[in-house]
Amino acid sequence: MIDSMQRLGEYAAPLNLNVLIENHGLFSSNGKWVAEVIKQSGKVNCGTLPDFGNWCLSAKWGTTQIECAQVYDRYQGVADLLPFAKGVSAKSYAFDANGDETRIDYHRLLKQVKEADFTGYVGIEFEGFDMAEPDGIRATQKLLERCWEQSV
């Protein structure tokens, strides 16, 4: 994997492109392992895209929306990947009456993102079942804005 990232980084550099690994199941959801791959690649244009929701180590599709036999701690995983992050994926599944995500502590994660001095883009993904996708995206945006304002 390290060799592949080095080669991809070399190929992408003259094009001013970054090559990112998103945690998305199996070994890619092991934050420590992914961070080591990026470190060992030695390429400044190789980085990560931490996804708030994909930390299942035992399934090809890394979602933690459903049962997962082996889960990497999402907060540790985001901490592992943030030093190399070129973007962040704010995933959500469901919201309570207060507008908070029911499975993911957005307050905690956005505090981590802020403390890491991350200045890139935060994308929104909604993969819930209880509302239409556009409504879920808007609810996630409101949650992001609220948590960002409240985080230290």
CATH number of 2-150: 3.20.20.150
pTM above 0.75, yes or no: yes
- pLDDT tens-digit series, residues 44-56: 999 999 999 999 9
Instruction: Band the pLDDT of 152: cuts 50, 70, 90.
Output: low
Closest CA to 90 of 123, 68, 119, 117: 123
What percentage of the chain carries pLDDT values higher than 90?
Answer: 92
pLDDT at position 42: 98
Phi and psi at 93, nearest 5°, equal -125, -45
- Provide the residue ranges of all domains of the chain, joining segments of one domain with +: 2-150
Q: What is the DSSP letter of 52?
A: S
- pLDDT tens-digit series, residues 98-145: 999 999 999 999 999 999 999 999 999 999 999 999 999 999 999 999
Q: Is the pLDDT of residue 61 over 80?
A: no
Average pLDDT on 72-88 reads: 99
Residues contacting residue 148 through CB under 8 Å, at least 6 positions apart: 110, 114
Rounded distance, CA 132 to CA 58, Å?
28
**Residue 6 contacts residue 31 (beta carbons within 8 Å):** no
Q: Is the pLDDT of residue 83 over 80?
A: yes
**Residue 96 contacts residue 130 (beta carbons within 8 Å):** no
- What helix, strand, coil percent values describe the chain, rounded to 5? 45, 20, 35
